[in-house]
Amino acid sequence: MQEAATNFAGSSRRSGFVFQRRVRCPLFHHRGPIFPQLEWMWQNHTPVSEREMKKSPVRVLLSSAVACAAAIAVARAQQQTPLTPAQKEQRIQTEKELESLAIIDRKVMMPMRDGVHLATDIYRPKNATGKVPTIWVRTPYDFNFWDVRNGVPAEMTNILAAIKRGYAYVIQNERGHFFSEGNYDILGAPRTDGDDALTWMSSQPWSNGKVGTTGCSSTAEYQMGIAAIGNPAYAAMNVQGFGAGVGRVAPYYEQGNWYRGGAVQMLFIAWLYGEQNQVRPMFPPNTAQAALIRESKSFDLAQQLPPVEWSKALWHLPEQDILKAVDGPPGIFADAMPVPTGGRMIQRTPNDPVWYKGGLYHDDMPLSVPGLWFMSWYDVSIGPTLPLPIALTRARAKTPSSANAAWAMPVSIIRKSSTVFLIAS
């Protein structure tokens, strides 16, 4: 973990892996527990003592778990109920402070190699004396800077914290969602979108050429597949709850936890009900940036789907018609779609060749980007999770003896159900 942070801020020695498992971290977007993971990358922005370096993994992971629980509770409460006057005022003051400290560039439509543009908000410190490293968050979820339903700015605390520590903060929607163009596929495929974004960010005049990523669940799972491309700007990654980003890790062919023992894990069917909305409102191509910013205070393009009683809906047969039976939108679950994998997920087999055309990471891909790996979803992702770091460690080994020396060391923290795995060679 220390080496990952060092590589992000400056020079590096060699990459390493730090894994945390069995800390509950359900699906949520970037307004979840980002802060502890930013701290992991920030702690090397200024020198720290060797003693502090040795203590940092457990300290950071401990704070991660505590902040995770608190952040999830706050996020859920804010999403389900209107904000109080005090909460609204706090949002307004945070936005004002952010405006005083950051150069803000919202609704930038970042170009991809195939002509698709991805909606991106960019924040960078005003007081920077030189070029700065970038924290990049890519998500399929709503990050609109304006809370349309409450009529105030969105929660910007994490962005403000990054700016205060001298980092640029870039947040982006995957293709096919909200203001981003194109058609949606799981993990924001094609992987070249990530490669293009890294190149674009690192080539900006304010960038020092180094980009780090952070996030949980769908905001993390794409990171490994992009890291495998080997873009030189990708300096460090923090992947939390990343199980659904792991494709094939022998002997497992779960393909992003889509399968368990060859059977489809049906929780993802319910999740796709709210994600594969490709018949959706969009602003015309080439709409002016100023117009997008202005209109995003009225329209965040978030769908409001009718509720479904999934305990009954998931019993429908044939399985491929489950979403159709609840009048869900067409998309990659059962329909052919103009995406790299072609859609029709329910018709695939565990080793179908199209699985290797999407955004998943597979065990034949290189991966040398240093990272903090924070695992959760124990029951969903247990299969490929432990074999993955072992496979990565052995793939990096320079000799057969060091490959066979790969090991996992469990360290209990917080409670008996929380375990840290330090993977070494």
pLDDT digits (tens, 9 = 90+) for 266-285: 989 999 999 998 889 999 98
Residue 332 has pLDDT above 90, yes or no: yes
Burial string for 385-421 (b: 16+ CB within 10 Å, else e) reads bbebbbbbbebbeeeeeeeeebebeeeebeeeebbbb
- The two tokens of residue 273 are 């009900």
For residues 404 and 92, the answer to whether their CB atoms sit within 8 Å is no
pLDDT tens digits, residue range 160-203?
999 999 999 999 999 999 999 999 999 999 999 999 999 999 99
CB-CB contact of 277 with 302 (8 Å): no
Structurally, the chain folds into a number of domains equal to 1
| Confidence grade of residue 136 (pLDDT, cut at 50, 70, 90) | very high
Better-scored residue on pLDDT, 232 or 17: 232
* pLDDT confidence of residue 414: 34
Q: Is the pLDDT of residue 60 over 70?
A: no
Token output for 94? 């945070």
**Which distant-in-sequence residues (6+ apart) come within 8 Å of 52 by Cβ?**
none
Q: Round the average pLDDT of the chain to a whole number and report it.
A: 79
| % of the chain residues with pLDDT over 70 | 73
Three-state secondary-structure class, residue 106: strand
pLDDT of residue 395: 65
Over residues 63-80, mean pLDDT: 40
Q: What is the pTM of this model?
A: 0.81
pLDDT surpassing 80 at residue 316 = yes
Tens of pLDDT, residues 224-257: 999 999 999 999 999 888 889 999 998 889 999 9
Domain with 44, as residue range(s), is: 2-424
Rounded Cα distance between 358 and 247, Å, is: 10
Q: Which of 39-53, 120-134, 166-180, 375-389 has the lowest mean pLDDT?
A: 39-53
Cα–Cα distance list, 410 to 20, 114, 236, 385, 418 (Å): 9, 45, 23, 14, 10
2 vs 300, residue with greater confidence: 300
CB atoms within 10 A of CB 89: 12
